[in-house]
Chains A and B, each alone.
Chain A
């Protein structure tokens, strides 16, 4: 009895000593690393910090690598399942057909959360991707050209950009949308309510109306589902020319050389706030279900589509042909004569 007690105490002492030695080692190593870093210049310090963060992110998100946003091939699932089979005791299964995969994934069952193994999480993610696929397709009516655009949220771009920079540094493959050194990185897409995706993992993408793109253009969707793009330069042009007609009261000071007349020109100041107001006005014309739609309109000789809001008597013209097809080219008040042209001749000059 005393012998057993002695052994137990001895074991505890040994364990404590080992723990202390381990902690000492960590403290000593940290001290050494800090000492080395202290000798480095500012640039080197920043680089070290950056690499550390990226490596940490790589380790954190590397585990999400197995699942593609939408499973394109069953071999992909097979590979994942085979991988999970090798890491976990799991019965042999045939996964050559998608239905079989689905049934099989149902068998795995249970809510596989954060605490589950990578293999189990892979199966869970694959199941989510399969079950969400038809819903994701439904959320994209009309097969719009913009809806498929990979529109990263600028505020969430840093991770991807950092990964890309690092990938270039280490000459690895493409990171965004691919499998780089640190696993799969992608710009976080707009959440699709029909396809929430897995935690932090891939999702299907839906571009929402009014969303700013990386090139500072904006995609707007009309009430009838037609999609148009408002580029930054066009937005500047329209804000400057018609800002005062779209609810912006911020004119530039009058040019001293300008003649004083009854009707003085108004140039609206270009800033983000004013541009946003004009953008919102354009958006409201397009989304107003009472707006009249004129198709096959000649907008300065180029085929287009015009939305006329009768409440405000403003029009928005979108080109549907040519180099700038899909772009908003006009956003202006409309006179009686112009309205007559539009109604009778399908012309907006």
Chain B
């Protein structure tokens, strides 16, 4: 059984269990881990497919055309938007998913997840307790993202 067949089999199984208020991670943790790895790979590739959005955003921020606050909201919008698209494709068991089951981009995925965390924790109001990142950190991430996407 190839990756594609295995992935759809696990996805179908997971969706069937969900309909019965059960979860694959509880029923078969090993199968869930395998499915999660496929999904992570697909997600990374989906993000890469939208690399132009990320590049434009990072450039605008580094050129001070947008504020750190705007960057944080816009980055999260792209990241979450792609997550929602994937969610819909999972529910539909869309065959389009196979297009993204290519080689993984773990470094990009990891970087994007970290930038998301930084954006989520950013607030222009320093008194917000959960504001644990600042503009400097976001600028550093924007620079890294730009380099990463341009080299790939």
Contacts and interface: CB of A to CB of B under 8 A. Distances in A.
A329 interface: yes
Given A241-B120, A336-B39, A349-B113, A327 B76 contact: no
B73 A237 contact: no
B114 interface: yes
A349 B118 contact: yes
Given A262-B53, A337-B40, A337-B43, A233 B129 contact: yes
A292 B109 CA distance: 23
In the complex, which range does the number of interface residues on chain B fall in? 35 or more
A341 B131 CA distance: 21
Interface string B18-31: 00010101000000
B77 A266 contact: yes
Interface in A275-321: 290, 292, 300, 310, 313
A303 to B, nearest CB: 14
B77 A263 contact: yes
B53 A336 contact: no
Contact of A336 (B86, B120, B125): B86
Contacts, number: 111
A250 to B, nearest CB: 15
A55 interface: no
In the complex, which range does the number of interface residues on chain A fall in? 35 or more
Contacts of B118: 349
B120 A332 contact: yes
A268 B78 CA distance: 16
Contact of B113 (A236, A313, A329, A335): A335
A130 interface: no
A336 B133 CA distance: 23
B23 to A, nearest CB: 6
Interface in B100-152: 109-110, 112-114, 116-118, 120-121, 123, 125, 127-133
Interface string B67-103: 0001011101111111100110000000000000000
Nearest to B108: A337
Contacts of A335: 43, 79, 83, 113, 116
B114 A349 contact: yes
B130 A337 contact: no
Interface string A71-89: 0000000000000000000
Nearest to B121: A300
B128 A337 contact: no
A290 B22 CA distance: 9
Nearest to B119: A241
A204 B122 CA distance: 41
Interface of A: 231, 233-234, 236-238, 241, 245, 255, 258-259, 261-267, 290, 292, 300, 310, 313, 323-324, 327-330, 332-333, 335-341, 343, 348-349
Interface of B: 21, 23, 25, 33, 36-37, 39-40, 42-44, 50, 53, 56-57, 60, 70, 72-74, 76-83, 86-87, 109-110, 112-114, 116-118, 120-121, 123, 125, 127-133
